[in-house]
């Protein structure tokens, strides 16, 4: 079966092809995508149902980037989909509710690995968090089959990604599980608080500090603290939050001997 029929939502055409009974429902395109993968990626709930009902599809099939139908369903990343398909003509027109329905369909089969990692080491939960898919995050957490603190190939957890992207709802969902290390360090020794500070995520910074479980003065591989990053990036509100903790060294120096005040006077261009 041409994956494009599933991708573009041609339900009648898909049904006709399936009724023939001689089509390869698991055929892969040049990027390793199957009809089910593309249907899931484009939020085609009806077509996903048709394909699953054949009992002839691999619900956990991976493409050339190691991503499964579930991974795409939680992601809704139009730019990446266009890049994957050589024609660049993929249309992502489904709304969030349709994607959530597809996620449910896939999880309900009981045949998908909800914690499958792609070539970046990211799980569906990581992608859902990155893209701010609060309802999907709940769906995945409710399975009880996902590692909420799984690290990808650069050592980053779902909480780290949520903090960087300012996903307040996802941060709360993850913290509420009681299973995440709020002070986890990635390959650059940066914590979720560091990422929140760099990007000026005031609400997330508060959420993390309120746990009482984060080191407000943690240093990364360049000896830079959250305060130093916040100051260097001009994140005034976060600087105040960190100072108000009374637990940060205002004169801490990084690997090149610069302290927060020096970065404030030089601006972010001084950070390398």
**pLDDT for residue 233:** 92
Q: Tokens at residue 240, please?
A: 């105040």
Per-residue pLDDT of the chain (272 residues; tens, 9 = 90+): 555 555 556 788 888 888 887 789 999 999 999 999 999 988 888 999 999 999 999 999 999 999 999 999 997 654 444 444 443 434 444 455 678 999 999 999 999 999 999 999 999 999 999 999 999 999 999 999 999 999 999 999 999 999 999 999 999 999 999 999 999 999 999 999 999 999 999 999 999 999 999 999 999 999 999 999 999 999 999 999 999 999 999 999 999 999 999 888 876 555 55
| Angle (nearest 5°) at CA 72 between 174 and 2 | 165
Q: What is the distance between the alpha carbons of residues 28 and 42, in angstroms, rounded to a whole number?
A: 16
Q: What is the distance between the alpha carbons of residues 40 and 114, in angstroms, rounded to a whole number?
A: 14
**pLDDT for residue 89:** 36
The closest of 59, 57, 54, 44 to 11, measured between CA atoms, is 44
**pLDDT for residue 272:** 57
Q: What is the 3-state secondary structure (H, E, C) of the chain?
A: CCHHHHHCCCHHHHHHHHHHCCCCCCCCCCCCCCHHHHHHHCCCHHHHHHHHHCCCCCCCCCCCCCCCHHHHHHHCCHHHHHHHCCCCCCCCCCCHHHHHHHHHHHHHCCCCCCCCCCCCCCCHHHHHHHCCCHHHHHHHHHHCCCCCCCCCCCCCCHHHHHHHCCCHHHHHHHHHCCCCCCCCCCCCCCCHHHHHHHCCCHHHHHHHHHCCCCCCCCCCCCCCCHHHHHHHCCCHHHHHHHHHHCCCCCCCCCCCCCCHHHHHHHCHHHCC
Give all domains of the chain, ordered by start, each with its CATH number.
Answer: 1-111 (1.25.40.20)
Q: What is the distance between the alpha carbons of residues 17 and 39, in angstroms, rounded to a whole number?
A: 15
Q: What is the distance between the alpha carbons of residues 202 and 199, in angstroms, rounded to a whole number?
A: 9
**pLDDT for residue 271:** 59
Residue 119: CB atoms within 10 Å: 12
Q: Tokens at residue 213, please?
A: 């479980």
Report if pTM > 0.85. no
């Amino acid at each position: 079966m041409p994956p494009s029929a599933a991708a573009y939502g041609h339900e009648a055409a898909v049904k006709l092809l399936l009724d023939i009974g001689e089509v390869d429902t698991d055929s892969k395109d040049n990027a390793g995508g199957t009809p089910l993968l593309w249907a899931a990626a484009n939020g085609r709930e009806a077509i996903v149902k048709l394909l699953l009902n054949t009992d002839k599809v691999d619900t956990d099939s991976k493409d050339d980037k190691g991503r499964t139908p579930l991974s795409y369903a939680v992601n809704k990343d139009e730019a990446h989909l266009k890049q994957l398909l050589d024609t660049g003509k993929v249309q992502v027109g489904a709304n969030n509710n349709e994607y959530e329905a597809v996620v449910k369909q896939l999880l309900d089969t009981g045949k998908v690995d909800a914690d499958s990692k792609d070539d970046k080491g990211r799980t569906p939960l990581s992608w859902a968090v990155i893209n701010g898919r609060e309802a999907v995050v709940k769906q995945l957490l409710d399975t009880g089959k996902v590692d909420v603190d799984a690290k990808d190939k650069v050592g980053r957890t779902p909480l780290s990604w949520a903090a960087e992207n300012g996903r307040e709802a996802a941060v709360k969902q993850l913290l509420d599980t009681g299973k995440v290390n709020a002070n986890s360090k990635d390959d650059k020794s940066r914590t979720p608080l560091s990422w929140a500070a760099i990007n000026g995520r005031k609400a997330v910074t508060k959420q993390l500090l309120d746990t009482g479980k984060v080191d407000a003065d943690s240093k990364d591989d360049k000896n830079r603290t959250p305060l130093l990053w916040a100051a260097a990036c001009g994140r005034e509100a976060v600087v105040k939050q960190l100072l108000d903790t009374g637990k940060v060294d205002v004169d801490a120096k990084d690997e090149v001997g610069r302290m927060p005040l020096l970065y404030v006077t030089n601006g972010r261009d001084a950070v390398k």
